[in-house]
Amino acid sequence: MDYINAIVLLLNYIFVPALAYGSQLALGAIFVTLIYGILRFANFATGDMMSFGTMVTILFTWYFQSLGISLGILPTALIAIPFAIIFMVGYMLLIDKFVFKYYRVSKSPPVQLAMVSIGVMFVTQAVVRIIIGPSDRRFFDGEKFLIKAGEFKEMTGLNEGLAIKSTQVITIVVTLILVSALFWFLNKTKTGKSMRAYSDNEDLALLSGIDPKKIVMITWIIAGVLATIGGALYGLDKSFKPFTYFNNMLPIFAAAIVGGIGNPFGAFLGGYVIAFSEILLTYAYKKFFMYLLPESLEPNTLVQLLSTDYKFAVSFSILVIVLLYRPSGIFKGKIL
């Protein structure tokens, strides 16, 4: 019985939260990696683009709520997301046309594009804060829990409860659907294949008649979808605050690089690597050992490897280690 309790404990505090957080990171990381692989620059505006998408989602959610539209137990935001995506894609294409295109056409070095993306970051951040303000927003409605801790305890008769929030399930399900659709697109369709060809070798791709304009446009469209959904899922699960989104850019970058930048599948797994290591290393295992060990051996400290204050530091340290020993990432991206 104790063993089951210990496992449920880990499931509740580590596995489920990490899976949801990892999915949110993974979507962002695929976004970063696509931009890097096809447009060839590190996009420092990632976090703020995600917060822009989330902001539009929130505005639509409020609008639908005021109309009285709802999905019952599911959050209203789910209907708002498709509309937000349209706005987001429009915004991205606009930015590309007025900002990035010039540097792409004049073949500027990647560093310059990265600097330009900092300008975009400033502007996007300002737009988001001017429209919705810098404060914390919650826009979740519907049923909060799929399984409540108390109900789980009653059902199984265990000491430990397992609480699963509906947002966590939505996050994981949506991520899986989206990512499988994306990989199907990249690997099976003609456009997807030409995107991969363009990312792999630009000159050869151009030579074989691939239209670069179309590739770039589709990249931004996919990026818009990923940014909006990733951002909205994070906001549903936790809450929306522009500053948090800006900060989330850092673990997202870590995930993309750990997974091997330019490699979408690596970025997908990288998100989970970062999320799990952050939570595994900062969890206090005291209760876990209390279930497993006999009473005489019970630990009297928290058995916590690092304090939760260092959550971000964990992912950055992993990144630094990966950069040093395997600059191409765990799952072989471009060798940089």
Partner 1 sequence: MRKNLNVIAAYTIMMGLIILVGIFQSWNIALSIFNLCLISAVMTMGANIQWGYAGLINFGIMGYTALGGLAAVLISVDPVQEAWSAGGSNILLSLLLIIGMVLAVRYILKKYEKSKVRTYIIATIIIAGIIIIRFVSEPGIEAIEEVDPAKTGFLGGFGLPIIFSWIVGALFAGGLAFIIGKVALGLRADYLAIATLLISEIVIAIIKHEDWLTRGVKNVIGLKRPAPYEVNLQQTDWFINLVERFNLSKLNLITDLTERQAALNQFVIEGSSIFVKLCYSGLFLIVVIILLILTQKALYSPWGRMMRAIRDNEEAANAMGKNVVKQHLLIFVLGSAIVGIAGAMLVTQDGLFTPGSYRPMRYTFLIWVMVIVGGSGNNFGAILGGFVVWFLWIESAPIGLYLVNLTTAGLADTHFLKVHLIESVPYFRFLMMGIGLLLIMRYRPKGILPEKIEIK
Per CB under 8 A, the list member of 67, 130, 207, 297 interacting with partner 1 is 130
| Residue 129 is a binding residue for partner 1 (CB under 8 A) | yes
d(CA 278, CA 187) in angstroms, rounded, equals: 31
Helices 242-258 and 46-67, interaxial angle, to 10°?
130
Per CB under 8 A, the list member of 116, 179, 186, 205 interacting with partner 1 is 116
One symbol per residue from 251 to 280: x for binding partner 1 (CB under 8 A), - otherwise; what is it?
--xx--x-----------------------
Residue labelled with tokens 């928290």: 302
What residues have CB less than 8 Å from 121, skipping those under 6 apart? 44, 45, 47, 48, 246
| Residue 147 is a binding residue for partner 1 (CB under 8 A) | no
Tell me which residues in 204-233 interact with partner 1 (CB under 8 A): none
* Interface stretch with partner 1, choices 63-71, 123-131, 147-155, 223-231 (CB under 8 A): 123-131
Residue closer to partner 1, measured from CB, 103 or 152: 103
219 near 195, Cβ under 8 Å?
yes
Residue closer to partner 1, measured from CB, 178 or 322: 322
* Interface stretch with partner 1, choices 5-13, 121-129, 157-165, 171-179 (CB under 8 A): 121-129
* H-only helix segments in 238-293: 242-258, 264-282, 286-292
Per CB under 8 A, the list member of 79, 313, 326, 330 interacting with partner 1 is 313
Tell me which residues in 26-85 interact with partner 1 (CB under 8 A): 41-42, 44
50 near 227, Cβ under 8 Å?
yes
Q: How many residues bind partner 1 (CB under 8 A)?
A: 44
Residue closer to partner 1, measured from CB, 115 or 218: 115
Residue closer to partner 1, measured from CB, 19 or 322: 322
Q: For residue 25, how many other CB atoms are within 10 A of its CB?
A: 30
Residue type, 105: V
Give the nearest distance from C-beta 253 to partner 1 in angstroms: 5
Residue type, 114: A
d(CA 248, CA 253) in angstroms, rounded, equals: 9
Using DSSP, state whether 159 is helix, strand or coil.
coil
Sign of the dihedral through C-alpha 293, 299, 300, 301: negative
The residues of the shown chain that bind partner 1, judged by CB under 8 A, are 41-42, 44, 99, 102, 109-112, 114-116, 118-127, 129-130, 133-134, 246, 250, 253-254, 257, 307, 309-310, 312-313, 316-317, 319-320, 323-324, 327, 336
